[in-house]
Amino acid sequence: KQVAELIAAGEVVERPASVVKELVENSIDAGASSVTVEIQNGGVSYIRVTDDGCGILREDVHNAFVSHATSKIKGEDDLYNIGTLGFRGEALASIAAVARVSLLTRTAEELAGTSVQAEGGQILSVEDAGCPVGTTIIVRDLFYNTPARMKFLKKDVSEANAVAACLDRIALSHPEVSLRFIREQKTTLHTSGDNNLLSCAYGVFGRDFAKGLIEASYESDGVSAGGLISKPEESRATRGMQYFFVNGRFVRTRTAMAALEEAFKGSITVGKFPSCILNITMPYHLVDVNVHPAKVEVRFVNERLVFDAVYFAAKNALAALNE
């Protein structure tokens, strides 16, 4: 059983960034309005995620660490609904299987909070603790009991970069949540949480980049594209600043990338690339779910609708600039 747990853990927990992604998504699922992430040594020795979400009831704490014991009823609406079923309710159990985990949590209806220590997949203690409503999870010594997996980790700075990139994507897809990242003692990201994508972009990328963004949106046949694109004169040498989300999830999509660049044809120099933060929304049955949930590639049932939504969102925004 231990081996099976460790193998399962490997699928969800590849590196510090995957731990952070799962924990922050849990915080957001818990209705948090602000989430703080702190890492040390690239997250290998220390990851802390603190939120002001709903907390976990004492009686549910044990279940939270058990595989597949998710409290969430995932509706039909989950983007990768079918694809993720196998992973649901596995994150916390998987993380606790390969690290030392401290959990501190309290719900609004409880007077006392709960402190839990777990390591190597075992819960060591559950005790009373004073704390505000919400949850703090500290993950120490990732892969301390799986040296083979430890070997695949890169240098601390690369692991920290991966955590930062992951938090940028989460921040941009949740402008309603104030996200703070303390990287090796320094705050490197702090978003407003005011549900305004542009102020969120200022928080993530800073003024130099954000001031060159303009609003763009288009909707047709139930497929929409909305968000921000760069002004033509702000184009860049790489595609590194093209952020596409589908129904709120970060994805890589050639279709959307091609549509964006087609819309900019003639407005920017050949060899330069536009930037964007665009969320594409569509009914869930129009997204191909036969894609591995851990990957960010996505396919659409109707590529044309997606192409058009992105193309016209960008084209119309550029046209409005020249009016």
Residue 58 sits in the site that holds ligand ADP (CB under 6 A)? no
* Among positions 36, 135, 146, 173, the unique one binding ligand ADP when judged by CB under 6 A: 135
Q: Which of residues 72-131 bind ligand ADP (CB under 6 A)?
A: 72, 88-93
* Shortest Cβ 105–ligand ADP spacing (Å): 7
Nearer to ligand ADP, 93 or 278 (CB): 93
Q: Which two tokens stand for residue 256?
A: 């959307």
CB 73 within 8 A of CB 29: no
28 lies in the site for Mg ion, by CB under 5 A = no
Helix or strand (DSSP H, E) at 157: helix 156-173
Q: Which does 30 bind (CB under 5 to 8 A by kind): ligand ADP, Mg ion, none?
A: ligand ADP
Instruction: Write out the DSSP string of 88-152.
Output: TT-HHHHHHHSSEEEEEEE-TT-SSEEEEEEETTEEEEEEEE---SEEEEEEESTTTT-HHHHTT
CB–CB of 139/40 below 8 Å?
Answer: no
Residue 42 or residue 89: which is nearer to Mg ion going by CB? 89
Rounded distance between C-alpha atoms, residue 312 and residue 219, angstroms = 9
23 binds Mg ion (CB under 5 A): no
Contact positions with Mg ion (CB under 5 A) in 109-138: none
Contact pick of 27, 50, 115, 242 for ligand ADP (by CB under 6 A): 27
Q: Residue 33 is encoded by which pair of tokens?
A: 């309005």
Q: Which residues are bridge partners to 314 per DSSP?
A: none
Does 38 participate in binding ligand ADP (rule CB under 6 A)? no
Which residues are near ligand ADP by CB under 6 A? 22, 26-27, 29-30, 51, 53-56, 64, 70-72, 88-93, 135
